[in-house]
Amino acid sequence: MGRSPCCEKAHTNKGAWTKEEDDRLISYIRAHGEGCWRSLPKAAGLLRCGKSCRLRWINYLRPDLKRGNFTEEEDELIIKLHSLLGNKWSLIAGRLPGRTDNEIKNYWNTHIRRKLLNRGIDPATHRPLNEVAHASQNQEPGSSPATASASASAPTTISFASSAKTKQHQQQQETSTGSGEPSMVVRRSMSMGVERCPDLNLELTISPPRHHEPDETGERNICFGCSLGLQNSKDCSCGIGSTSSGDNINASSSSAAYDFLGLKPGVWDYTSLEMK
């Protein structure tokens, strides 16, 4: 089909931004807000692509950006979030105030990857390197290592839980409906996740720990799918929404997944991963 370019490349500057360009962009956004990035450059008197302006603002000029080195706490948080979210840098950035997705992505590639490798952990799967090597040896012919590791790791599975760009739409949906129903976006994302990787057991790594043990009141806890209102989902593991729960991962294996991630049951509630 092809698309028209986002800007007229012949008349746009590229490369490093000058102080003057920065000042123009800052003063324009202060006066008018972010608005439409496509029309912003012209309105602001900048010979830049709208995308370039957006990136410059988001990654460098925004006043709420935190400057300086990452702290040890931020390091660990990034590692844990990456183990849950994969390369969803914008989602990870959403949990680190003042940090941008680009910044975190760069930091991951230059520091944390090495740090994990030094610890003997595969940065892609967050599993011990020797275990990853072993798994790739045992994989079925025809399946790629990436597929093999993805089937046991969260990065692929979590993608259905909240897509980066669904944040605002999700909020819009929820505020507009005002009901406890999951947003269309969430439902769509979930179904996509299942369709893309039908062999994935999505229950393995993303279910809140409290799902598996009945509480003292005898009240049944519900699975992640049901908590999202997907009572009839085939991924239901609590038995409320589906008739068969025996095929799903049991509590011990699920808690093992948490142990592997270094997450103490109850400490991490995935509902808290909702974007701010």
Partner DNA sequence: AATCAACCCAACCGCTCCTTC
Partner DNA sequence: TGAAGGAGCGGTTGGGTTGAT
For residue 238, give the nearest of 223, 257, 259, 225 by alpha carbon. Answer: 223
Closer of 14 and 276 to DNA (Cβ): 14
Q: Write down the least CB distance from residue 6 to DNA, Å.
A: 7
Contact status, residue 86 vs residue 156, Cβ threshold 8 Å: yes
Cα distance between residue 64 and residue 51, in whole Å: 20
Nearest to 228 by CA among 184, 182, 183, 273: 182
Q: Cα 167–173–175 angle (5° rounding)?
A: 100
3-state class (DSSP) for residue 174: helix
CB 272 → DNA: shortest distance, Å?
Answer: 19
CB of 63 to DNA, least distance (A): 15
Question: Of the two residues 20 and 140, which places its CB atom closer to DNA in the complex?
Answer: 20
Q: How far is the CB of 230 from DNA (least distance, A)?
A: 17
**CB 223, CB 203: distance < 8 Å:** yes
Helix 251-261 and helix 72-85, axial crossing angle in degrees, nearest 10: 140
Nearer to DNA, 89 or 224 (CB): 89
- How far apart are CB 55 and DNA at their closest, in Å? 5
Binding site for DNA (CB under 7 A): 1, 3-4, 6, 9, 13-17, 35-38, 49-52, 54-56, 59-60, 87-91, 101-103, 105-107, 109-111, 163-167, 169, 172, 185, 188-189, 192
> At 68, is the secondary structure helix, strand, or coil?
coil
CB of 104 or CB of 222, closer to DNA: 104
Q: Which amino acid is at 148?
A: A
Task: For the CB of residue 95, give the shortest distance to DNA in the complex, in Å.
Answer: 12
Closer by beta carbon to DNA, 77 or else 240: 77
Q: Which is nearer to DNA, 51 or 220 (CB)?
A: 51
